[in-house]
Amino acid sequence: MGMQSDLARVRHLGSAKEGTHHWWAQRLTAIALVPLSLWFIWQAISLGGLDWVAYKAWISHPANTLLMVMFVVAVFHHMQLGLQVVVEDYVHGEGAKITLLVLNKLLAVLLGGSCILSILKVAFGG
């Protein structure tokens, strides 16, 4: 015997109306970020003192282009999900909460998108 109403049991979505999707996406992006951030740190050590020409040579290498794009996607998706939980925990006014949650999503897409554009521009630019 469960504690849920029949409707809740049919929908399988719980009180947040989205089931386990948020939780699951947070874990998936976390798992992806383990190898990706270790790779990025390793690369960043050697990129530290480099000039633009060396950066272009690095980012133009297909493996580096791909991994940088994947790293950025994982970081911004994971960050958006994580900051959402922080906002939901600390911001109680409904208006302020919705505003911050929308802002969080928009900024994550905007900044993540601009990172990808920046990567591709140098990687494929003349």
Site residues (CB under 6 A) for ligand HEM?
Answer: 26, 30, 33-34, 37, 75, 78-79, 82-83, 85-86
**Partner whose footprint covers residue 48, from ligand HEM, another protein, none (CB < 5 to 8 Å by kind):** another protein
What residue 2 binds from another protein, ligand HEM, none (CB within 5 to 8 A, per partner kind)? none
| Residue of 74, 76, 75, 55 lying closest to 119 (CA atoms) | 55
Instruction: Kindly report the backbone phi and psi dihedral angles of residue 48, in degrees, each rounded to the nearest multiple of 5, phi listed first.
Output: -40, -60
Give the whole-angstrom CA distance, residue 111 versus residue 79.
11
Residue 113 CA: distances (Å) to CA of 4, 8, 94, 95:
40, 36, 28, 27
Residues near another protein (CB under 8 A) are: 27, 30-31, 33-34, 37-38, 41, 45-46, 48-53, 55-56, 59, 72, 75-76, 79, 82-83, 86, 111, 114-115, 117-119, 121-122
**108: amino acid identity, one letter:** A
77 binds, among another protein, ligand HEM, none (CB under 5 to 8 A by kind): none
